Amino acid sequence: MIEFLTENALLAALIALGGLALVFGGILGFASVKFKVEGNPIVDQINDLLPQTQCGQCGFPGCKPYAEAIADGEEINRCPPGGEATIQHLADLLDVEVKPLDAEEKVPSVAFIREAECIGCTKCIQACPVDAILGAAKQMHTVIGSECTGCDLCTDPCPVDCIDMVPIETTMQTWHWDLPKTPAQSQLIATDRKGEVA
């Protein structure tokens, strides 16, 4: 075997390079799994505070891109579905000044399709970012109320204007306490606590 490789230097070089490529490829593959960067943790914390309606009312295509923009310095007051409560939580997390909402705060609502007027064009289905509208082409459509985020993106594309945004009534099923902050939202350093000295 050694005599064969010494007679064929080109083949020996190719085998050596192939072996080195396999070894270093394996090392790089292991390193990419072992030392994987999970991403910016502040972006994940900001994204957890946003309402996840994916409505685009902030000027970004969804909540995750807006969270990335906030981490890069964008204003925190551009989320109408989140309202003042979300702005307050974001200000607390980022230790910035609370600013008033850049748009009017909306009452929580869900889409309602007047089914007798629906022509089945499917434009509302295509516009819904959370697939809360059920129906087929040239058939009646309806909204799955528990899935609807109230983003209002389905009303404009409707050619017959048969979609209304209906406020969610406060009932025993929809009423809830405001949850306390999670430890990630209330991280304090020792000097932030009143009465303690670093």
Name the residue among 44, 60, 64 with its Cα closest to residue 52.
64
pLDDT, position 178: 67
Query: Architecture of 41-104 per CATH?
Result: Orthogonal Bundle (1.10)
pLDDT digits (tens, 9 = 90+) for 4-55: 777 888 888 889 999 999 999 999 999 988 888 777 788 989 999 998 888 8
Top pLDDT among 175 and 74 is at 74
Nearest to 135 by CA among 148, 145, 116, 121: 121
pLDDT of residue 114: 92
pLDDT at residue 130, as a whole number: 86
| pLDDT number for residue 35 | 86
pLDDT value, residue 194: 47
Q: What is the mean pLDDT of residues 66-72?
A: 92
Q: What is the mean pLDDT of residues 48-73?
A: 89
pLDDT tens digits along 179-196: 666 555 455 444 444 444
CATH class of 107-172: alpha beta
pTM of the entire structure? 0.55
Reported as a single tens digit per residue, the pLDDT across 117-176 is 999 999 999 998 888 999 889 888 899 988 888 888 899 999 999 999 998 887 787 676
